[in-house]
Amino acid sequence: MKTKIFSLMLLSAMAFGLASCSEDELDNKSIFSETGELNNDFDKWIYSNYTIPYNIRLIYQMDDIESDYQYTLAPADVKNSIKLAHIVKYAWIDAYSEVAGTKFMKTYVPKILHFIGSSGYNNTGTEILGTAEGGIKVTLYKVNNLKVDRAILNEYYFMTMHHEFSHILHQTKNYTTDYDLISEGDYVSGDWYLYTDQQANMKGFCTAYAMSEPREDIAEMTGLYLTTDKAKWDGMIANAGTEGASKLQQKLNIVRDYMQEAWDIDIDELRDVVQRRMEDIVSGKVDIDSLDK
């Protein structure tokens, strides 16, 4: 299981975990039944836009089998679920498809997306924002708090999606172990939450959570780079100090080379597409309420 957590005291903590995927040949037959009843227009829209093209099951109604019993959870608001379904498809799935092709996404995209209305709260003062399980299922929380705001969308949803997807890619084709050596000796395992992002930047990590271990570090680098515009990224590098900036640049170079050599994806082109599509969302150019298509 992968968990992204938000510290109520430290404001910038995120956690993710290991994912896996398969290199089996793509099968055109859906893993989901095509005889199930489609109850409403949203169900039909999901079937046409997620299940048919990408073999994805999107669950927005509260399903206790798919939910985590240790939390008291609320179901997702249907109107917000419709908005988020549009946003995830346009700004994440379609962004990768535009750069890498639809077959790439059909092969590697997680097959279950699960929307929960509320957060899961721990007794340690942390708030669960997203989880992922085995590269197959991603759960997004706080759907009832959805706001069409770039910072909120990235923090609550898209860092989770990009981070988790990078784990799937890394499990399929390994990145060079040279990455693990850049900050060797500076990883702090479960104590990452004791650091601020600024302190992490000074040590060569893009976020505090990146300090937990190398595989989370590279996933954080990938997710943050894709969801951060150039001006903000350059500002982080400028404020990281000489040592921190050098390590961050070394790590980004490895991420850039990995995506190009392993997947024939120009990560800078992908970031431009992600940023453009996100701007389309927040500026209102994309209809995120209609179920016509």
In this prediction the pTM is 0.82
pLDDT at 185 (0 to 100):
94
| Averaged pLDDT, 70-92 | 88
- The pLDDT score that the predictor gives to residue 39 is 81
> How do residues 179-192 score in pLDDT, each as one tens digit?
999 999 999 998 99
Structure token digits, residue 184: 């060797």
Distance between CA atoms of residues 150 and 278, nearest Å: 7
> Cα-flanking dihedrals φ and ψ of residue 72, to 5°?
-90, 110
